[in-house]
Amino acid sequence: MSTTGMPTALIDVLSHLLDGTGSSESWVLNPNDRGLLNSLDSLSAEDASRMPDSGGSSIDAHADHLRYAFELLNAWSRGSDAFKSADYTTSWTRTTVSAAEWAERRAALRRKAYEWRTAIADRPIADTFGLTVIVAAIAHLACVPHRRNPPDRPLPPRPRGDRISSPARIE
């Protein structure tokens, strides 16, 4: 099996998760899904700060966690052993965010995510560990809930027993 197209395939899937899909080609999301970054852009700071009734963390905390993960991945792609001293706990202490802070957090996530996408294109996949890191990062991002309804159609109320712990629907 040839792996020459693998970086392109990984970049395509990552791009769909980050930026959304068109109507004709969707690998992970539904056709015309706006993707994570555009979905986060549609949330107010108040919505991003809302804590779920069932416990857990805010959308802002999840966004910051993803930003930090991309920061680590970018450092790793430059040869640093960034994971050795990683502290994932800081993101989960986030509680509320102002409008300006929310805008900066989204911008930082976008910068780090796009930097990682470029790193995948530029970094030769030399070993199984490197490929595993790339695939695991993309899979982790795919676990973030995305809105399935078009933006002009509100979601129906969520049943109380729903297992999704996000405090606000990403619209």
Percent of the chain's residues with pLDDT above 90? 23
Question: What pLDDT digit, counting tens, does each position of 34-58 carry?
Answer: 888 999 999 999 999 998 888 888 8
Provide the whole-model pTM: 0.76
The per-residue pLDDT for 7 is 74
Predicted pLDDT of residue 140: 72
Full DSSP string of 86-139: --TTGGGG-----HHHHHHHHHHHHHHHHHHHHHHHHS---SHHHHHHHHHHHH
Give residue-wise pLDDT tens across range 58-100: 899 989 999 998 999 899 888 888 888 888 888 888 778 999 9
* pLDDT tens, residue by residue, 109-143: 999 999 989 988 877 666 677 777 778 777 777 66
